[in-house]
Amino acid sequence: MMAKQHLLPIDEQPERYQTLALVMTVSTAYLPLARYLNWRVTAFVALVLLLRFAAVRWPAAAPGRWLLLTLTFVGVANCLLANHTLIGKVGGTSLLATMLALKLLELRARRDHRISAIALCFVVVVQFLFDQSMGLTLYLGGIAFMIVALLVDLNGGMGSNPIRRAMPVVLRISLQALPLTVVLFALFPRLTSPLWSLGFDQDRATMGMSESMEPGSISELVINGDLAFRARFDQRPPRSDQLYWRGLVLWEVDNRKWSPGRAGQYQPADPELTQAAERIDYEIVLEPSQQRWMFSLDLPIEHPPNTVLSGDFQLLSDRPITTAKRYRLTSALDFRTAVPVEAEQRYALRLPANTSARMHAIVKEWQLETDSDWALVQKGLDFFNREEFHYTLLPPKLGANPWDEFLFETRSGFCEHYAGSFAVLMRIAGLPSRVVLGYLGGEPNRIGGYHLIWQSDAHAWVEVLIAGRGWVRVDPTSAVAPSRVDNRGASRLLGAYTPARFHIDSSGVLSIAIRQLRLLADSIDAAWQRSILDYSAAEQTRLLDRLGLADYGEFALAGIMVTAVTVVMGLILVGLIRQPDAIDPATHCFALLCRRLAAVGLVRHAHEGPLDFAARVAVARPDFAPRVNAITDLYIRGRYMPNPTAADIQSLSRLVKAFVPTKQRRSFSDTKRRKYFA
């Protein structure tokens, strides 16, 4: 009967620590998702997890069948209310996280724990749809490690200190999987677009610069402080005052804002330059924006594939940028554009309906005092420098006529105030003008050898058509006297690095150290982006070129992958076959006892159990009986009883080491004893 009990499977009743470990692992895995999912979903998941934690301490708190069914309906309805859908990236992830949390409320047997742990793997994987940074990868790698350790422990046999005993097993499994992971990463065919891009997430919120400009729009973006893109130059980087990163071009102005104008007004065209000197080559890694517009150093003269360069030098992607995009460009720092067509010039002279008499009067005064278009532009810049204009991120609210109120009343604002009002003044003067949105400057990262351009570097400037020179860049914000720049307001509001044009920085030792650590972390993240996330089909093609198999294309790639996987799996299999069987401490001690008894002629038969062998030893050598029986009892408790104690194993090891049997002197019974042990 006792032998049959030993053959039964491990009890399906889980340990309390296993339930607690599973709930804690689920809670930890959900944390990165909280910033991407609706707060209602996070609140519901948090309440369910708190209820599950309470049930671990007080089992009576676990909900019954009907309450659990009610919570399930409430959870699904909450996902619909929060996302208006149960499919797509956000909707599907919300439903998956909700269902996993509810599954924790019905944990009964180890089977439920295993199912929940496997479902948690899907929650871990789905997070890479939102973020693929190195930090998140390491974080989720730790979660995956804990899931495997939990599954190893749930499958039993760990005895005392189960977590500590499970860790070497998990580490061995991970090391065995590592070569196969590397092979599949390098050789598995890359797709041209994400597999999950099924069109369900068209209503996702955009991040970054918007397609229009009105007072307050860019200053709100600057406070954001996120990374916009990285730029790496092939030559020596330009000066900071030359780093005008061109983005959107705005032609249309109404009573409050500037916008690109009528759709299709300007067809894609090759850049028309009459002069392009000081050319510079560089690479940009643009963060996802869910928009088509891209950024380039003013002024781009060559553009990458799958993009268009419009007649106003605006760079556009052929599809919305949903993942980090790497592209190369060539720009000219010293340039002169061609004269635009007459229709384009007329369009760049259209005025809003609310231009005031004061605005016309001051422009008329400038025209009387100047004799050229460029002199009139300088007169406008002198106006911003001479009068009491202030640069601030906390400007007063403007009414129905923001351009007039800013110029003659508040005189406090950010770059959109200066660029928007200056362009209107130039149009009143009869000079075709347009507004350009982009970024100015950037933070050099000398550790990584590139520049960081933050949302806090967002900027707006003006381009004015000057006879004989084409479109000329004019930055009215830079005309503000440095003494009238509100550094304290900017430092209080900015979320990241402050605009390079005003050099608001701290020179403290702690600030420098923190900044260097941040740059080091960003250099590591950039290397991760370049080496791992940007590994594409083009990289695989170059790999085939180096191997001389480019003509065979995907067939060669598939053949190499199958061969490499076969070799790796074969090596792992050989290693597993040659690996000696693990022996538990109790078995090791009893085997040592048997070897020592065999040395004095007491050999154990293959079919003989430990109790039968001990009885036979006691008959042959009564002087061995007390110690052999004690060792055998400890061996049976340590080998066959559940959860043996460390004290029993230590006592067994001590008794075996101390037992050194000696041969008995020959007597008339030796022949009988040899027959008995034969």
Cβ burial, residue 204 (10 Å; 0-12/13-18/19+): middle
Please enumerate, as own/partner, the contacts of 42-46 that have beta carbons within 8 Å and a separation of 24 or more: 44/74, 44/75, 44/78, 44/98, 44/101, 45/97, 45/98, 45/101
Give the Cα separation of 327 and 641 in Å (integer).
65
Helix (H) or strand (E) holding 592: helix 585-598
Cβ burial, residue 107 (10 Å; 0-12/13-18/19+): buried
Q: What tokens appear for 264 in the block? A: 């299709």
415 labelled catalytic:
yes
670 labelled catalytic:
no
Residue 466 CB neighbours (<10 A): 18
496: Cβ contacts below 8 Å, ≥ 6 apart: 225, 226, 227, 454, 455, 456
Q: What share of the chain is helix, strand, coil (3-state, %, to 5)?
A: 55, 15, 30
Give the Cα separation of 252 and 212 in Å (integer).
9
233 close to 195: Cβ distance less than 8 angstroms? no
Marked catalytic residue, from 201, 373, 404, 475: 475
Number of helical (H) and strand (E) elements in the chain, helices listed first: 23, 17
For residue 151, give the amino acid letter.
L
Using omega within 30 degrees of 0 as the cis cutoff, is the peptide bond preceding 465 cis? no
Tell which phi-psi region holds residue 146, choosing left (phi > 0), alpha (psi between -120 and 50) or beta: alpha
Marked catalytic residue, from 201, 415, 486, 522: 415
What radius of gyration, in Å, describes the C-alpha atoms of the chain?
37
459 labelled catalytic:
yes
Q: Which stretches within 274-414 are classed as H helix?
A: 342-347, 357-369, 373-386, 402-405
Marked catalytic residue, from 113, 303, 417, 459: 459
485 close to 491: Cβ distance less than 8 angstroms? no
Give the Cα separation of 346 and 593 in Å (integer).
104
Q: How far is CA 365 from the centre of its chain?
A: 56
240: Cβ contacts below 8 Å, ≥ 6 apart: 441, 442, 500, 501
Active site amino acids: 415, 459, 475
